Amino acid sequence: MIEFNAVAKEYQGHTALSNVAFSIQSGEMAFLTGHSGAGKSTVLKLAMCIESPTRGHIHINHHHLSQLSQRQIPQLRSRIGMIYQNPQLLHNQTVFDNVALPLLIHGYRYHEMKRRAQAALDKVGLLSKEKLFPSELSCGEQQRVGIARAVVNKPDILLADEPTGNLDPELSLEILRLFEAFHAVGVTVLIATHDLSMIAQMPYRMITLLNGRTK
């Protein structure tokens, strides 16, 4: 569950969000749209506790974010899978190591880590490339590695920031189908994108940001 209540965010006098309010139920899939610079990334950063709102309240999985201590933030993040336009992979580590990173951080034993990471890679169709380095993969494949890493710890929520921004329409659709597959097994999915043509035919709710407000 994701809930934004009259949220505003200002950066040194410049207003990024003036009044954002929306609610996404558990297991729901939704799109966050708006032109570039409308504040989509800011919304996701606030949800991940990378930044804190200037005003308003945010609830994630019934946690009031402004009441979280520094120690509780990693716990929250381990329940959220985040996907970026630039997939933020570690280029000195193999595909497998990249995907296993969240499991390594949470202290999984090697065989359990291997089983889960391979399952996640299998789901995105990259199991055969687990020993390669990210630089040896195409953009679409790198994005899928990012998705495998986001879902490897079986999060309740997936957040994606322009996940198809660098991809051609065919690959974009492939990625969206992946998100639908996770939604189908009960994961809450929120995808920020400005590509309205692609999502127009999809049966999901759209939350539109305009001048820092939700319409």
Partner 1 sequence: MIHTHFSRWLLSHYRALCFALSELTRAPFGNFITVCVIGIAIALPLGFFIVLKNLQTVDSSWNASAPSISLYLTPDATTSQVNTLLKTLRANNHIAEVTYVSPGQGLKTFEKNTPFNHIIKIFRRNPIPGVMTVLPILQDQNPTAIHALFLTLKQLPLVDTAQLDMNWVARLYDVIAIGKEITKALSLLFGFGVILIIGHTLRASLSSHINEIQVMRLVGATHHYIRRPLLYRGILYGLLGGLISWVLINIFLSVLQKPVSQLAQTYHAPFQLQTVSFALGFGVLFISMLAGLISAWLITTQFLNQPEQAD
Q: Which positions lie near partner 1, rule CB under 8 A?
A: 41, 45, 48, 50-51, 70-71, 74-78, 82, 84-86, 88-90, 101-102, 104-107, 109, 149, 153, 161
We find the least distance from the C-beta atom of residue 193 to partner 1, in angstroms, to be: 16
Q: 28 and 65 in contact (C-beta within 8 Å)?
A: no
Q: 3-state SS string over 102-122? A: HHHHCCCCHHHHHHHHHHHHH
We find the least distance from the C-beta atom of residue 48 to partner 1, in angstroms, to be: 7
Which one, 84 or 182, has the nearer CB to partner 1?
A: 84
Q: Nearest 5°: CA angle at 102, between 80 and 39?
A: 35
Cβ neighbours for 122, distance < 8 A, ≥ 6 positions apart: none
- Tokens 């995808």 belong to 191
Which one, 88 or 128, has the nearer CB to partner 1?
A: 88
We find the least distance from the C-beta atom of residue 23 to partner 1, in angstroms, to be: 24
We find the least distance from the C-beta atom of residue 93 to partner 1, in angstroms, to be: 9
Query: Residue 131: how many CB atoms within 10 A of its CB?
Result: 10
What 3-state DSSP class applies to 67? helix
We find the least distance from the C-beta atom of residue 209 to partner 1, in angstroms, to be: 18
Which one, 85 or 214, has the nearer CB to partner 1?
A: 85
Strand order in the sheet with 63-64: 63-64, 55-60, 2-11, 14-24, 213-214, 205-210, 29-33, 188-192, 157-161, 80-83
Which one, 144 or 149, has the nearer CB to partner 1?
A: 149
We find the least distance from the C-beta atom of residue 89 to partner 1, in angstroms, to be: 8
Write the CA distances from 133 to 37, 96, 126, 136, 184, integer angstroms: 32, 9, 12, 6, 30
Which one, 102 or 212, has the nearer CB to partner 1?
A: 102
Which one, 63 or 202, has the nearer CB to partner 1?
A: 63
